[in-house]
Amino acid sequence: MGEALGALGLAWPRLLLYPGGLSALLGAWLLARWLGRNSPTPAASLVDLLPPLLALSLLPLPPARAFPYGLDLPTSLALLLWPWLRALAQSGEIEPGRLRVRAPGGALLLLAMLLLAEGAGAIELSALLRAPTEGWRWALLIAGGLAWIGAVQRLGALRGGDLSVWLGAWGLLLVGALPLLGGLAELLAGRLPEGWAGWLLPPLAALIAALFAGALARLGKRP
Amino acid sequence: MRFSQAICFAVLALLLAAAAALAWLARDLPLEPGWARGLLRADGLTALLGACTALIGLAEVAGGRSPARAAAAATLLCVGYLSAHLAGLGVALLGAAILLGGRRAVPIGASLAVAVGLALIALQAGTWRYPVPTAGLGLNSLSFALILLGTLAAAGAAALPSTQPGAPPPPAWPLLAAGCLYALLRLFSLGPWNLGWLYAAMLLGGAMALWAAVRAIASHPREWLGRYYLALGVAGAGLASGAGVALAAFALIALAALRLALSEEPPLAPSADGEPPSAESAGRGLLWLLSGALPFTAPFTAAWAAVAGALAGELSLLAVALWAAALLAALALARAAVGPAGSDPPVAGTPWLRLAAGLSLAAGVGAPALVWLLVEPAVAQLQAGLTPFGELALWPWAGLLALDASRQPVATLPSLALAALMLVLGALAWVVSRLLGSWRDQRHG
């Protein structure tokens, strides 16, 4: 009990500053400007806003202090897709005929999960950051991360809406960037000054993921 | 509420309390009263399935057309679970089938198949009492196939290929299917299953879950999602692990919540002035808590146990199929949650809807407590028949962990920690929104 309360006490910087809180709001705003070409509108309700904010707060991103109660892929996906799913339902798009358009995105999402699970040997988010010893696992992880970003882009979860949807999109992008972050950390281990990796690599991985999502979005718009 | 319905509720509430008490009493060792001469036995599985059956019975009494029959069938099944004699369980299943379906072919056929399967085991082993060590000698493929097919038939599997898309499916028999699932899980008391049986249960359960979830998006989510949860239970038996037993339990709880929330009656017609029917309130939004789209609910916990259990057993493809089914099932109820009042599917009255949402939320947030009280004793006592691939462990004061055969965590569901952090975050966000609101008011006013 004491351990759990202590852990919750340590969660304040995560909830308020990074990776949740202010940094999440900033990331969502930047993503909305980059992919949606507009600032996000205010969230419709707290019910929509809280789940993605919570998932973002618990992402295993350095340099935030490690949090003992991490998430896994299904739980983080549910929390991050929550506002998008609510918006999708309210727009009346959950009809068998209209859902077929999103079927390739759904299939890609499942493929991404398969690749990530096989690559990491687990579906915990922190496992996606660990450096596997075999090369083929690296390949599966990176392919899984890219497929994840492609899937959420194809599903329309990166097309935006209000702030809560953009927060979810930012979180989904960061989850897809986790294997890339693990790869960069492994690649640059010992080449960066001590303590710099934690500050430099997460923004770099997020930037690469956002550029990749942007490229996919532009490609998708081509006639 | 009618008087007879109230009596039925009281009986089922007593059954639920008795199952909880039994789970506590039989936590370390099964209870076998000496005066019963070996005919009665209560262990963790008895308590677990007893509690789930009582919950489904409550839902059937609330929404069904014949509450007395549903209550009697649930009681009979729970008495059957207490029987150490395989014939006792078979007779209870047949009795429940007659009570629920009269002379209809599906329930009678399903219960008969399970009863014959149990009888064949007893005849081959030379003993009718399953706790006898030699009872496991009677396990054979024919008996297993009969019990598995009987369970699937009671769960309404036959409707999947035979029902046209959009057409109403024939009714499933959730109470009877819970009883058949008990018989299927009870086989673990006799000994480990062979690999073929495990694959058969996993594949048939997984395929049925996926198919039913696809059907649920188009129409009749009450019936199709009911089949989805029952199929998850069968897939859980096929996983043959602690996570599989937990999956079966959470799937049955989610099924009870679903049947409590969605009404069996056809949608009410709008009133003469075009207004939606007043009997259906604005509580439709509560269906979000039954959709499995949020991690604090019973349907999500069932889906998580399915994915985590399959991955811990190194069955990635099954995990992906079960996740796909869970996503589709979530979409089906998400659509229902935003539908206008009076639309399909019809929802139960507000009190039932609130009760269903509360049950789902309590089972989701309190999943560690349920696992500790009900699932862990059952798994410990069935250990000889289960595999080590996919154990569900308690994460003290945080939630649940799924462990693989080398006891490494594969998946994590910190439901209690998430709920606590959500409360903190909600309070923070509320304070910030109030401060922003008052700042805007001052600026404009």
CB-based contact (8 Å) between A57 and chain B?
yes
Contact B307 A123 (CB under 8 A): yes
- Bridge partners (DSSP) listed for residue B402: B392, B411
> Which chain B residues are Cβ-neighbours of A20 within 8 angstroms?
425
Q: How far apart are CA B97 and CA B104, in angstroms?
A: 9
Q: Are B302 and B247 a contacting pair, CB within 8 Å?
A: yes
The count of CB pairs under 8 A between chains A and B is: 135
Q: What is the 8-class DSSP label of residue B135?
A: G
The shortest CB-CB distance from A72 to any of B404, B408, B412 is to B412
- pLDDT, average across residues A23-51: 89
CB-based contact (8 Å) between A75 and chain B?
yes
pLDDT at position B268 is 54
Contact B414 A69 (CB under 8 A): yes
The residue written with tokens 């008895």 in the block is B46
Q: What is the largest CA-CA distance in chain B?
A: 88
Mutation pick from A8, A17, A45, A72 vs chain B, by most beta carbons of B within 10 Å, is A72
Q: Which residues of B14-44 are buried (b: 16+ CB within 10 A; e: fewer)?
A: ebbebbbebbeebbeebebeeeeeebbbbbb
CB atoms under 10 Å from CB of A26, counted, come to 12
> Which chain A residues are Cβ-neighbours of B316 within 8 angstroms?
114, 117-118
pLDDT at position B276 is 53
| Token pair for A126 | 């922190």
Please name the residues between 158 and 187 in chain A that touch chain B, using a CB distance below 8 Å.
Answer: none
Q: How far apart are CA B90 and CA B410, in angstroms?
A: 38
> Distance from A221 to chain B by nearest Cα, in Å?
27
Contact A74 B303 (CB under 8 A): yes
pLDDT, tens digit only, all 445 positions of chain B: 678 889 999 999 999 999 999 999 999 999 999 888 889 999 999 999 999 999 999 999 988 778 899 999 999 999 999 999 999 999 999 999 999 998 899 999 999 999 999 999 999 999 999 999 999 999 999 999 999 999 999 999 999 888 888 788 998 899 999 999 999 999 999 999 999 999 999 999 999 999 999 999 888 899 999 999 999 999 999 999 999 999 999 999 999 999 999 877 655 555 555 555 544 545 788 999 999 999 989 999 999 999 999 999 989 999 999 999 999 999 999 988 887 766 778 888 778 899 999 999 999 999 999 999 999 999 999 988 898 888 889 988 889 999 988 888 999 999 999 999 999 999 988 898 889 888 888 887 6
> Which chain B residues are Cβ-neighbours of A167 within 8 angstroms?
none
Residue in chain A nearest B303 by alpha carbon:
A74
CB-based contact (8 Å) between A101 and chain B?
no
Please name the residues between 317 and 376 in chain B that touch chain A, using a CB distance below 8 Å.
Answer: 317, 319-320, 323-324, 326-327, 330-332, 334-335, 337-338
Q: Are B328 and B213 a contacting pair, CB within 8 Å?
A: yes
The shortest CB-CB distance from A117 to any of B294, B316, B422 is to B316
Which of B220, B218, B66 shows the shortest CA–CA distance to B156?
B220
Using the predicted structure, report yes or no on whether residue A163 has a pLDDT greater than 60: yes
Please name the residues between 48 and 67 in chain B that touch chain A, using a CB distance below 8 Å.
Answer: none
The shortest CB-CB distance from B307 to any of A3, A74, A86 is to A74
**Residue A92 region by backbone torsions, left for phi larger than 0, else alpha for psi between -120 and 50, else beta:** left
User: Where are the extended beta strands (E) located within B338-390?
Assistant: none
CB-based contact (8 Å) between B424 and chain A?
yes
Q: Could you tell me where the DSSP H helices lie in B64-140?
A: 67-81, 86-101, 105-125
Residue in chain A nearest B420 by alpha carbon:
A8
> Distance from B85 to chain A by nearest Cα, in Å?
42
CB-based contact (8 Å) between B429 and chain A?
yes
> Distance from A168 to chain B by nearest Cα, in Å?
14
Q: What phi and psi values does residue B401 have, to the nearest 5 degrees?
A: -125, 140
The residue written with tokens 């499916």 in the block is B169
Using the predicted structure, report yes or no on whether residue A108 has a pLDDT greater than 60: yes
The shortest CB-CB distance from B425 to any of A15, A78, A88 is to A15
Is residue B350 packed enough to be buried (19+ CB in 10 Å), middle (13-18) or exposed (0-12)? middle
CB-based contact (8 Å) between B308 and chain A?
yes
- pLDDT, average across residues A21-35: 93
Q: Give the up-direction half-sphere exposure of residue B109: CA atoms within 13 A in the CB hemisphere.
A: 10
> Which chain A residues are Cβ-neighbours of B429 within 8 angstroms?
46, 49-50, 53
Q: What is the 8-class DSSP label of residue B313?
A: T
Which of B232, B228, B220, B301 shows the shortest CA–CA distance to B262?
B220
Mutation pick from B425, B428, B434 vs chain A, by most beta carbons of A within 10 Å, is B425
Question: Which residues, including other chains, have CB under 8 Å from residue A165's CB and lie 6 or more apart?
Answer: A40, A48, A83, A84, A87, A157
Q: How far apart are CA A91 and CA B328, in angstroms?
A: 17
| Token pair for B337 | 């949650």
> Distance from A146 to chain B by nearest Cα, in Å?
18
Mutation pick from A10, A69, A82, A99 vs chain B, by most beta carbons of B within 10 Å, is A69
Please name the residues between 269 and 298 in chain B that touch chain A, using a CB distance below 8 Å.
Answer: 288, 293-295
> Distance from B390 to chain A by nearest Cα, in Å?
12
Q: Are B29 and B226 a contacting pair, CB within 8 Å?
A: no
Is residue B440 packed enough to be buried (19+ CB in 10 Å), middle (13-18) or exposed (0-12)? exposed
Amino acid at A183: G
Q: What is the pTM of this model?
A: 0.94
> Distance from A10 to chain B by nearest Cα, in Å?
11
Which of B89, B13, B80, B88 shows the shortest CA–CA distance to B51?
B13
Please name the residues between 193 and 232 in chain B that touch chain A, using a CB distance below 8 Å.
Answer: 217-218
Residue in chain A nearest B431 by alpha carbon:
A46
User: Where are the extended beta strands (E) located within A16-100?
Assistant: none
Contact B218 A96 (CB under 8 A): yes
Contact B410 A85 (CB under 8 A): no
Q: How far apart are CA A31 and CA A40, in angstroms?
A: 9
